[in-house]
Amino acid sequence: MTPDGTAPEAAARQRRSRHSGRRLRARAVLVLAPLLALVSLYPDPVPNAGPRLGSLLETFQPWLPLAALPLAAVALWRRSALALAACALPGAAWLIAHGGALLADEDTPYDLTALQHNVSDVNPDPAGTARQLAGAGADLIALEEVVPAALPAYREILSPGYPHLAVEGTVALWSRHPLTDIRPVDIRPQDVPRDWRRGLRATAHTPKGEIAVYVAHLPSVRMSPASGFGTARRDESARYLGRAIEAEETERVLLMGDLNSTVADRGLAPVTSQLNAPAGTLAFSWPASLPLARIDQVLARNAKVAHIRALDRTGSDHLPVLARIRF
């Protein structure tokens, strides 16, 4: 008998069982860590049918490598150097996909600056928000959730520096440069009320030439156990916006808006496939208290979004983002 009263054969079996369990867990880490790295780089194979898991992963793609932390804990617990090394792969994937954000050059030449902000329909201080946005010195300011009660405050503060204004429903565009051909853009999903107006288009006459400016606020998404990542309305609205941009005859196009997802989300492909996104920058804009994703976008056609950054918090649940545009 062994000191603890166990028969030698039984004790040996227990040791073999423990070692086998350790090897099994280490092997699981060796499989899961490279798979996580692959999904962090290429989430496209993840299906989007049903709960739209693909869109969910793409929305929070920069954070996926954090899932390697519990895997690393298992590797340490099982004292597997090989499994621990495998846990470094998701971090390497992050550097490949987003490491350019660490090297972004704010001194890149530019021709135009554009500020995008969802100001929130329950913003307690519209005037303070407007003063903060005016201080950024942008050429164009696009706002969403501008409710009628708050519009006069934004007009009063912004109009001296931005005399040209376009408003449609709850979206608005202030400009230093003249605006013409202002018209609504119908991006309303079929099952929402007809007074839902969240898209506009205007031609901005800048010193560098004309540019068609679109301002849009796509529908919000919701998470639920029954339906998963509820993006149906947003995706429908994105298709309508994509058709409008495709039909745009002006060579240069600038889109500013709260698109309620990141540019990696395949649900926005009707829009993002036609426009250039800023490269190598994160500039998370939502939620303002703990930014996890940039759902406020500045995208361009026949122009380059040379740099984008998030600004200080206002009275909104989003952060403003300021982009530099190069023609």
Tens of pLDDT, residue by residue over 269-305, are 999 999 999 876 789 999 999 999 999 999 999 999 9
CA distance 65 to 63: 6
CA distance 174 to 286: 22
Q: Residue 138 in contact with residue 113, Cβ under 8 Å?
A: yes
Residue indicated by tokens 């959730």: 145
Q: How far is CA 60 from the centre of its chain?
A: 8
pTM (whole model) above 0.85: yes
Superfamily per CATH, domain 108-326: Endonuclease/exonuclease/phosphatase (3.60.10.10)
Which of the pair, 154 or 4, is modelled with greater confidence? 154
Q: Which two tokens stand for residue 154?
A: 């934004």
Strand, helix or coil for residue 304: strand
Asked if residue 39 has pLDDT above 70, the reply is: yes
Domain ranges of the chain: 8-102, 108-326
Return the pLDDT at 161.
98
pLDDT mean over 169-188 = 98
pLDDT mean over 185-193 = 96
Strand, helix or coil for residue 104: coil
Q: Which two tokens stand for residue 294?
A: 């940039």
Asked if residue 236 has pLDDT above 70, the reply is: yes
CB atoms closer than 10 angstroms to residue 17: 10
CA distance 160 to 135: 12
Q: Beta 296-301 vs 253-258: how paired, if at all?
A: antiparallel
pLDDT mean over 209-235 = 90
Which residues lie below 8 Å from residue 321, measured CB to CB, with a gap of 6+? 115, 116, 117, 283, 285, 294, 296, 297, 298, 308, 309, 310, 311
Averaged pLDDT score across all residues of the chain? 89
Q: Which two tokens stand for residue 180?
A: 């013409």
What are the backbone dihedrals phi and psi of residue 51, each rounded to the nearest 5 degrees, phi first?
Answer: -75, 5
Q: Which two tokens stand for residue 177?
A: 């440069």
Asked if residue 16 has pLDDT above 50, the reply is: no
Q: Residue 217 in contact with residue 295, Cβ under 8 Å?
A: no
Instruction: Specify the DSSP element, H or E, that contains 180.
Output: strand 179-184
